[in-house]
Amino acid sequence: MPTPSLSGILYAGAGDIAKRCYQHLHPLAIPQWALRRSPTPNDNGIPAIHADLTQASSLQNLPTVSHVLYTATPSERSTAGYAAIYETGLNNLLNALDLDALQRFVFVSSTAVYSASEAWLDESSPTHPAQFNGQALLDAETRLRERLGDKLVIVRFSGIYGPERLQWLQRLRKPGWVVPASAGNWANRIHIDDVVQACCALLQHPEAHGIYVGTDDTPLEQIELYTQLAEFLGIAPPLRDDKAPAQGKRLQNQRLKQLGWTPKWPNTLAGYQAILRAL
């Protein structure tokens, strides 16, 4: 397959990842567009195309692009919400794109496609999603592979955190929050800065192909993570559930590192500390 050359990028989804990737790649002077459901002006600077992935008629006359980054997310956490984005929306977009001109399609998936495991997991590990969201993403990966073949690059991110993703802060400050404290309940995280670096690398790298796991270098037991965060905040630690079943997994990122990607925040706790200092 010829080495992909960036001549136009379409972001399917105009959220935080797309905004940051646009800013990162802007110096290359490559045309970039983002699909937006809302016609209101966007403050992230990306030229917007008013379109709804779930409405095929709104995707007519898309620009011809060489690269797509699919970061769209469901509007609700339900089977229907996931089907709208990862089945209907994906199919509509593929039907609207010039697939002959397309050179690379980077699909942002999730490590939810893996089930709990005591063994370390990587791209070659079996996929047995425990919940509907992981199954929806795995099905989407399969359909994309059938349509796009070698043009497809999948990146499965673990839990993304960053300055604009502070749900954990509200949970930690809520009295009575219970955290699994038995062995095997792992938390895998990746900072938004490293998510963006990974997405931009996968869009640009001539040898990127297949599947990648995007996570930092330090999976932590959940109780260790949230107890440390509570200490950083100077608040009481969460309540412990020492009888919780082991439902975690530990993820490896070696394949992504082989492309030259190096996480800015390899240590989860250091990344969270930096965010708290900024706050």
In whole angstroms, what is the distance from residue 39 CA to residue 27 CA?
26
Q: Are 104 and 47 in contact (CB under 8 A)?
A: no
In angstroms, the Cα distances linking 28 to 65, 106, 198 are: 15, 19, 17
Name residues of the chain where pLDDT drops below 70: 1-4, 39-44
pLDDT tens per residue across span 178-218:
999 999 999 999 999 999 999 999 999 999 999 999 999 99
- Please state, in angstroms and rounded to a whole number, the distance separating the CA atoms of residues 131 and 93: 25
Q: Walk me through the domains of the chain, giving residue ranges and CATH numbers.
A: 9-165+189-219+251-266 (3.40.50.720)
Q: What is the distance between the terminal CA atoms of the chain, rounded to a whole angstrom?
A: 46
- Check: CB of residue 98 under 8 Å from CB of residue 67: no
Q: Given the structure tokens 């994906």, which residue do they identify?
A: 90
28 touches 6 (CB < 8 A): yes
pTM score of the predicted model:
0.95
Task: In whole angstroms, give the CA distance from residue 18 to residue 196.
Answer: 8
Q: Looking at residue 39, what is its pLDDT?
A: 63
Question: How far is 109 from 154, CA to CA, in rounded Å?
Answer: 7
pLDDT of 1 reads 46
